[in-house]
Amino acid sequence: MSRRTAKVSADFHVRFDNAYYSVDKAYLHKSVLIAASATTVNIYSMKGELIVSWRRASRKGEWLTDPAHLPESYKQMSEWNATYFTRKAMTVGPNTVKVIEHILRSREHEVQTYRLCIGILNYTKKYSKLALEDCCKLAIDTNHISYSFIKNSIAAVAEEIGSAGFNTKLNEERNKGAFVMSPHAGDIDRLLSKSSKLAGEVRDEEA
């Protein structure tokens, strides 16, 4: 039996062993105790009361969500919601908005996509908004709109752009703008050619 503590995140789930388990809305942002066996994941309050018992996830990245755990107004209660991520994407560019909107629709429960959205948008911490926007355009043009594709291709896209592809002091002012349009939009064929092998290897399945 393995045990650990975790905090219920803004998506009403806790992460354990690379899988996600929903917890009742009453425990949003609270710490909980996870006790797991080979087949079961039990989640307790810090007072030792059993909150929920789940079967243990059978694959990496699996989401186990009970709709009853989500409040009717969860989109308003959580700081993470579709409007929040769409507005964040709008500061990058229209292709990034399309990718985020697609991701938001990609799971049975929208809340299950929030970590993917934040993962994509957080690439602007290392790479420039220009690089993320070009990468999202590439994802759309190759019909590989997924977190996995962005993760596996953004480094190559940034390298292709050059110094402007990275989030450096030189690009700080550019990254403050909204809807940064890529000056390389006309060179998408070059990016497609360079990334065609990569695109063929990347699966749409999210890690």
* Residue 2's pLDDT band (cuts 50, 70, 90): confident
Pairing of strands 2-7, 31-36: antiparallel
Q: How much is the pLDDT for 158? A: 94
| Domain closes at, from 48, 67, 86 | 67
Q: Is residue 72 part of a domain?
A: no
56 and 140 inside one domain: no
Q: How much is the pLDDT for 31? A: 96
108 and 62 inside one domain: no
Q: Is residue 206 part of a domain?
A: no
Count: domains in the chain: 2
| Domain closes at, from 23, 41, 67 | 67
Q: Which domain holds residue 112?
A: 77-201
Q: Dihedral (C-alpha) 113, 61, 2, 66: value to the nearest 10 degrees?
A: 50
* Residue 202's pLDDT band (cuts 50, 70, 90): very low
- The Cα-based distances of 176 to 18, 127, 160 in angstroms read 33, 13, 22
* Residue 176's pLDDT band (cuts 50, 70, 90): low
Enter the tokens of residue 171. 């690009």
Mean pLDDT of 58-85: 80
Q: Is residue 129 part of a domain?
A: yes
Q: How much is the pLDDT for 36? A: 95
